[in-house]
Amino acid sequence: MSQLGYDDTPHISGNPYRVHDKARPQPRVVAPGTESSQENPGNAPADAQILFDGSNLSGWESVRDGSDAAWKLEHGYMEVVPTTGDIQTKAHFGDCQLHVEFASPEVVKGDGQGRGNSGLFLMGRYEIQVLDCFQNPTYADGTTGGIYGQCPPLVNPCRAPGAWQTYDIIWIGPRFCNGKLVCQAAVTVFLNGVLLHHNKTLLGPTEHRTTTRYEEHPQQGPLRLQDHGDLVRFRNIWQRPLTDYDG
């Protein structure tokens, strides 16, 4: 059996453990899940919290009045029902790894912001744009993957209308102390495996045609999906809380 570390190496500064310390706890094992395909969503990692698996909408509610989510449910996905309003998870969470799959309508109608428009609102306040930007220009900070109204994505890796697309997001929420902001929110975003933002700080909650500033709020919040009047579909939504490895 190979040696599992040492007990005669220097201590790591600010840490109770030595370099290569044999007493340092091992990272826990997590089954990684499987990748999605165009036809079928993959499986989430074993330690993920499932927010939507295609079977029901029991974990979601209307943002408007807290009633049952009224979006369409079929074939393992949910679809926006225009005028029913935004929906959000009943579960609240903070710093996380978030996975969301979406598809814009295969039949193209409209252009710019009027084509396949929806959005992911982290903690119910901070929007990563969902839009059909396949050969569809619009204002840069409103394109797919943009931090809405604040920062365009680095690139546009959108697939054609009707194709399933995948967001993988690392979210670090803002921190407040005694009503004052002490650390801005930051986000890393991949769309279809392509990096759009790396640890990008947010200027505050996102809004249409205006700037905002941070106001203190809880460290956990819901994931909100937007009803912007377009028949956008979602499937395979899960999150993994980000906790410090303390070994």
How does pLDDT run across 216-233, given as a tens digit for each residue? 999 999 999 999 999 999
Does the structure show a pLDDT above 90 at 146? yes
Every domain of the chain with CATH number 2.60.120.560 lies at 49-241
Q: What is the pLDDT of residue 102?
A: 98
pLDDT in tens, 186-210: 999 999 999 999 999 999 999 999 9
What are the C-alpha distances in Å from 22 to residues 6, 12, 15?
5, 13, 14
d(CA 19, CA 10): 6
Q: What is the pLDDT of residue 27?
A: 85
| Mean pLDDT, rounded, for 77-95 | 98
Question: End-to-end distance of the chain based on CA atoms, in angstroms?
Answer: 22
Lowest-confidence pick of 19-33, 81-95, 167-181: 19-33
- Rounded to two decimals, the pTM is 0.94
Q: What is the pLDDT of residue 1?
A: 55
The domain at 49-241 falls in which architecture? Answer: Sandwich (2.60)
d(CA 208, CA 247): 44
Q: What is the pLDDT of residue 4?
A: 87
Q: What is the pLDDT of residue 26?
A: 86
Q: Which of the four pLDDT bands, split at 50, 70 and 90, describes residue 243?
A: confident
| Mean pLDDT, rounded, for 101-107 | 97
Q: What is the pLDDT of residue 212?
A: 93
pLDDT in tens, 10-59: 999 999 999 999 999 988 889 999 999 998 999 999 999 999 999 999 99
Does the structure show a pLDDT above 60 at 155? yes
Q: What is the pLDDT of residue 213?
A: 95
Q: Are 232 and 115 in contact (CB under 8 A)?
A: no
Distance of CA 27 to the CA centre of its chain: 24
| Mean pLDDT, rounded, for 59-77 | 98
Distance of CA 30 to the CA centre of its chain: 20
Q: Are 146 and 133 in contact (CB under 8 A)?
A: no
